[in-house]
Structure 1
Amino acid sequence: MDRRRFLKATGVAGIAGLAGCSGGPTSEGDGTTAESTETSGDGASTEAESGTGEESTDGSSGETINVGMVYATGGLGDGSFNDQAQQGIQQASEEFNVQYEEAQPDSVSQFQNFQQQFASSTNPEYDLVSCIGYLQADALSQTASDYPDQRFMIVDSAVDADNVSSYVFQEHQGSFLAGVMAGRLTTTEFSAGAGSTKPDEKVVGFVGGEESDLIGKFEAGYTAGVKYVDDSIEVQSTYVGSFNEPTAGSEAAIAMYNSGADIIFHASGNTGTGVFQAAQENGNFAIGVDRAQSVTKPSYADVILGSMVKRVDTAVYTSVEAVANDSFDGGAVTTLGLEQDGVALVYGDSLESEIPSAVKDAVTSAREEVIGGSVSVPTDPSNV
């Protein structure tokens, strides 16, 4: 059961014609839903897929909860950040009486428009608008002020407003474990799947999307984890400037692999697909982000050592659950780290069995030290 209407905007006014006039699914006579296309006033097209409004699968009934999802740039299908958020709303729709609509902005300039379209809708009225990604914070600060009776949630940033519930993660902690794994393996002669290390080189890499304090936390934690293993290991780092440029990700990774790196950790959304491609083509390794990317990107599973997962789905699900239970906590900031299982290092689906137990033990020990407080992980790359 897919209780949603899918929105994909190619222009700024993407959901103008739909946010205020959604109805039930259009029957085609065979039980399927119809896909419709509308055109907004500025000529931007919007595709919508209507879902059902039936009783939730856990048997509960009652008033429908309507949720608007505004994803980060890069869109769905990234096998990473946005897809993880979608998993959260899908889980909520299975357990509560939820209908949801999804908007995929192409640029930062579209965030406020989508937020406002959901907030101003009267049919349906949205019980919650979920804003996925720190780049939405500036727009949401204004939108939340303009619509004080609308409930919002945001992932990866804290917005100071009584009608916004914020969820932030300790990405540096999970990235530290990725660094420990990379540091141990790059100093070891290791071959598995389609990759191998260069223990004489002692070089690893980091590829970020857009440069920011948030993505800097990934870099800082990863670098600190590598240095925790061996301070003499070189960590090459670069930012591509986009979360949706696989070609640029590949080019950045190839340059690092050619400079001696054998393992690259990316925090770059769909740009990271290019990092995986480069690893496979060069016979090296990569580490994924946000989701278990050896599963979401199975064609590259033979080079993905693991992924630093970030439970964006937990944040989305928890916020919807709070609305369902009438316990929405506007103004609150929830922090999720290793101790709360908000971040974690998971091993690659294909390569886990090949990773030496000594490396896994080192990662486990590092995790315990971070949680216990004996290791403090920096959040700023300049402090590593």
Structure 2
Amino acid sequence: MKTKYKISALLLALTMFLVGCSGGSVDKSNTDSNAKGFKNIMFVVTGSLGGGTNNDDVYETLTEYAKTVDGKVDTFEANMDTSLFESTLMKASESGQYDLIVTGFGTMIEALSNTAKAYPDQKYFIFDTEMDYKDGKNANVISAQALQNQGGFLAGVMAALVTTSDAEFANDQKKVGFVGAIESTSIQDFLVSYIEGVKYIDPSVEVIYSFVGNHKDTALAKEIALTQYQQGADVVFAVGGNGLGVAEASKDANRYVIGVDFDYSERVDEDTKNHVLTSVIKDYKKMVNPILEGINNDTIKWGTHEYISYDKGGVYLVNNEYTKKALSKEVLDKYSEVEEKIKNNEIEVSTAFGATKEEIDAILNKSKATN
């Protein structure tokens, strides 16, 4: 059963969790002690539920797990109000109602770190980011993250193969693009791996990259993408919440787009579908499931981080009718060769996570064409 809390900050501070919210809070003493695992879960959602978001995938995975242990999942939707992040985690922890408190993404790192320190006996799970476990920090937390850089690398491989091919919407210039929402570590992770994937195929291919500055402005994302297409890019990798603006630009410019997070071909009009080369998708169910299984089997080591690799399904590239239409057999065969190497971990891909600014800059400097 799902309980959704949409309460103002004031009501949250006064009432949340502490007085048996209707249908929400759970009395641990009434649960089946024979069931394994953590039964009562609070999912603190940074954004909202509904509409087929990544949070929806996580919520579905949590509820499926809860059924196996006769448990339940409560939720609080913060709707990206950062002022609620830490207060919500604190109140949920203070209530003592939950075996496990779940949240996600890098925007929650500081709030969760403060809360985990304040409530050392409470267990927490954060997905799609990595916590700091140095010097015994966050010993009651486990984090999990798909190796998205492997997906970014393969996006670069595909872009480079297409820009040097006779694909329908490719031009005769060796240039590809990248439009990121913001210069966050996560988006830079996609960028550096994308550059490496492009250069793995052909060092002479130039990578043009720009950032919008936010996740919402699709009009600006479209404008930036159009500029990159005008500069000669025939494939642009769109990473961020405004990526559909890049998809619109690909249709207007008669070029290609690579999406992220969801299959762009399912969210655009018929004319644009043919311009969606592929989409890089992190599988949140496969990111979360191994952690829940470890909790259920009592094999989790708290205070650690788990990486879910490409070969384990943590990330994948959409391969649908539009991908097959764009890629010749020769290109598809070359791509499959590299993909197999990624599956077998034969190629080491750089990541922005844990990298210094100097290390990231060194990769970005390779974006220019070299012989």
Question: In which range does the TM-score fall when normalised by the shorter chain?
Answer: 0.7 to 0.9
Structure 1: which amino acid aligns with 2:162? L
For the 8 Å contact 2:260–2:280, the answer to whether it is kept is yes
1:187 corresponds to which residue? 164
For the 8 Å contact 1:178–1:222, the answer to whether it is kept is yes
Q: Offset at 1:212?
A: 2.6
> 2: distance between equivalents of 1:338 and 1:118?
34
1:315 corresponds to which residue? 287
Q: Which has the higher helix share?
A: 2
1:174 corresponds to which residue? 151
Equivalent position SS for 1:347: coil
Q: Note the 1:227-376 alignment, pairs <5 A.
A: 227-268=199-240, 270-295=241-266, 297=267, 299=269, 301-348=273-320, 350-376=322-348
For the 8 Å contact 2:38–2:295, the answer to whether it is kept is no
Q: Offset at 1:172?
A: 1.5
Q: Note the 1:115-264 alignment, pairs <5 A.
A: 115-122=89-96, 125-155=97-127, 156-160=129-133, 161-191=138-168, 196-198=169-171, 200-264=172-236
Give the direction of change, closer, same or farther, for the CA distance of 1:12–1:335 in structure 2 (3 Å limit): farther
1:38 corresponds to which residue? none
Q: How far does the alpha carbon of each residue in 1:146-182 deviate from its partner, in whole angstroms, 9 at most, with x for none?
A: 1112111112112421210111232211111111111
> 2: distance between equivalents of 1:16 and 1:313?
34
Structure 1: which amino acid aligns with 2:58? A
Give the direction of change, closer, same or farther, for the CA distance of 1:371–1:159 in structure 2 (3 Å limit): same
Equivalent position SS for 2:279: strand
Moved more, 61-70 or 240-249: 61-70
Moved more, 233-242 or 93-102: 93-102
Q: Offset at 1:235?
A: 0.9
For the 8 Å contact 2:36–2:297, the answer to whether it is kept is no
Percent of paired sites with the same residue: 28
Give the direction of change, closer, same or farther, for the CA distance of 1:15–1:173 in structure 2 (3 Å limit): farther
Superposition TM-score, scaled by structure 1 size: 0.77
Give the direction of change, closer, same or farther, for the CA distance of 1:298–1:184 in structure 2 (3 Å limit): same
Q: How far does the alpha carbon of each residue in 1:33-58 deviate from its partner, in whole angstroms, 9 at most, with x for none?
A: xxxxxxxxxxxxxxxxxxxxxx9xxx
Question: How many residue pairs end up in the alignment?
Answer: 339
Gaps of 5+ in 1: 26-54
Structure 2: which amino acid aligns with 1:231? P
Q: Offset at 1:210?
A: 2.5
1:24 corresponds to which residue? 23
> 1: distance between equivalents of 2:110 and 2:235?
35
> 1: distance between equivalents of 2:166 and 2:86?
50
Q: How far does the alpha carbon of each residue in 1:114-152 deviate from its partner, in whole angstroms, 9 at most, with x for none?
A: 222322235xx1222212101211111111011112111
Give the direction of change, closer, same or farther, for the CA distance of 1:76–1:24 in structure 2 (3 Å limit): closer
> 2: distance between equivalents of 1:212 and 1:218?
10
Moved more, 336-345 or 221-230: 336-345
Structure 1: which amino acid aligns with 2:362? N
> 1: distance between equivalents of 2:306 and 2:147?
11
1:69 corresponds to which residue? 43
Q: Offset at 1:348?
A: 3.9
Superposition TM-score, scaled by structure 2 size: 0.79
Provide the alpha-carbon RMSD of the alignment: 3.1
For the 8 Å contact 1:80–1:293, the answer to whether it is kept is no
> 1: distance between equivalents of 2:261 and 2:313?
13
Gaps of 5+ in 2: 25-30, 353-359, 364-371
1:112 corresponds to which residue? 86
2:28 corresponds to which residue? none
